[in-house]
Chain A
């Protein structure tokens, strides 16, 4: 089948732009709803359940409320930068979705349509470029407010995002080495060829990437820029109404994009188990794989395959969104120096060392002439599994796995309470 071209291609592009970005915004709106419902579930509350059935219209009500609320502008704020900051934080969080493939190619009477807005040759680097620009909005918002809490939040944000970008990029390189290219369509294709998703052969990179992505999106346990108990709400303390909403939308937009990215890089993107859905453009033809003699096998795209793979992609993205919310309501916040120590003293050296390990394993496998397939993946899985175990044991150092009872250093001596205190005015119930 031929790729779509001419005027239908323009129409398809417009439809994809409109459809995908509307979808992202919709997912962002319902991610806020999901966060409130899941947090309520975790804390044994009901959560928003009054607006519409099961409270499903709550995000719309929130949107209307935020539009109608009064916009405030602090007297000492730098007016121009104060207004600019929410825009600068909102745009990068949404445009990064453009390079993520969301489903298998869709056949139409005019040709095959790729289910991706822009398959740019630099792929993942585009995502890195725009996510590195997102920090400006946060920092500017904090600075322009002319408020010490907002300012501290902005400072923390810039330090934290620059620090964790390093580990994020380094854990990404392992994926790119295995895929051999930087475009996300190729990353998905290579996972189909390997016969397993990269979460297994690159397990440590997966863990490091998830941790760094949490830090990059400023979510708990890394929400130092906001840190309600220390900084009011950090960089957006002075913002109200729709400008505040822009910061919230961008935070959830980052979450959605990061989830989709993790699903694409490590869980095969839109790939479903089995080779029936494999599809990739090779020398102008859509192929599903290579025959034993090296000839390409033509793919057979169908609308139901596109729909099924899209459902798979949505499920994987949703899984990571749920993980984001789950962790937020489970773990307490780090201390600021802990965040920095973890970033520079643990994440950076680990990702560097792991990168060397993966590179050497790939080199040895290639030199031995092992075909890029299941055995190749299995060897990498074993090597990465060993590295992951070592990493977890190093981080844990016998605290969680062995249990607190097994360690003598952390054992608290329970002293017998003197009778005078015990019988006297003990604090508590009266």
Chain B
């Protein structure tokens, strides 16, 4: 069952990603991107990273992409169908470059394989003890608390910066 589901989600993710660049309307691109994000969440579930899957959907598909949709609709970009992609040569080149990178990745992973890291067993124990969310939360708020807080401050700076840019007189 798991391999079948994996190929389904992988196919959806890649198909969606191609759709993002090939779609004629911005709304179509956006929906393809949501498809890709959803399929990625599916692969996260297959890897038993349930919390990441949920966050992927809530934050990316449910919040950020909705704001994208909001902007597209406010600017009313959706209804005129002009292609942004430059002709055939450009498409072939970009697909070629992506293909070469994917090839290198496949070669690298094909020889070494994906293994449980040294922490694999301890991660299983953590999930058994604290649940899917607690396992990540414990690490985040103990070992990695400083980078986590700094990320929070970074986001705060971004919000304040956006306000300063958007408002003429603060």
Contacts and interface: CB of A to CB of B under 8 A. Distances in A.
Interface of A: 78, 81, 120-122, 125-126, 128-130, 132-133, 135-136, 139-140, 143, 146, 151, 154-155, 158-159, 161-162, 165, 181-183
Contacts of A129: 41, 54, 57-58, 61-62
A125 B34 contact: no
A418 B24 CA distance: 69
Given A125-B51, A181-B131, A139 B69 contact: yes
A158 B27 contact: no
Nearest to A139: B69
B73 to A, nearest CB: 5
Interface of B: 25, 27, 31, 34, 41, 50-51, 53-55, 57-58, 61-63, 66-67, 69-70, 73-74, 78-79, 127, 131-134
A237 to B, nearest CB: 16
A158 B69 CA distance: 9
A133 B57 contact: yes
Nearest to A129: B57
A142 to B, nearest CB: 8
A128 B58 contact: yes
B27 A146 contact: no
Contacts of B74: 155
Given A136-B34, A143-B78, A182-B131, A125 B54 contact: yes
Nearest to A81: B27
26 contacts: A78-B25, A121-B127, A121-B131, A122-B50, A129-B41, A129-B54, A129-B58, A132-B58, A132-B62, A136-B31, A136-B66, A139-B69, A139-B70, A140-B31, A143-B73, A146-B79, A151-B73, A155-B70, A155-B73, A158-B66, A161-B66, A162-B66, A162-B67, A165-B62, A165-B63, A181-B131
Contacts of B62: 128-129, 132-133, 135, 165
Contacts of A121: 50, 127, 131-133
Given A136-B66, A158-B70, A159-B70, A122 B58 contact: no
B27 A143 contact: yes
Contacts of A155: 70, 73-74
A411 to B, nearest CB: 38
Contacts of B63: 132, 162, 165
Nearest to B70: A158
A122 B57 CA distance: 12
A78 B28 CA distance: 11
A155 B70 CA distance: 7
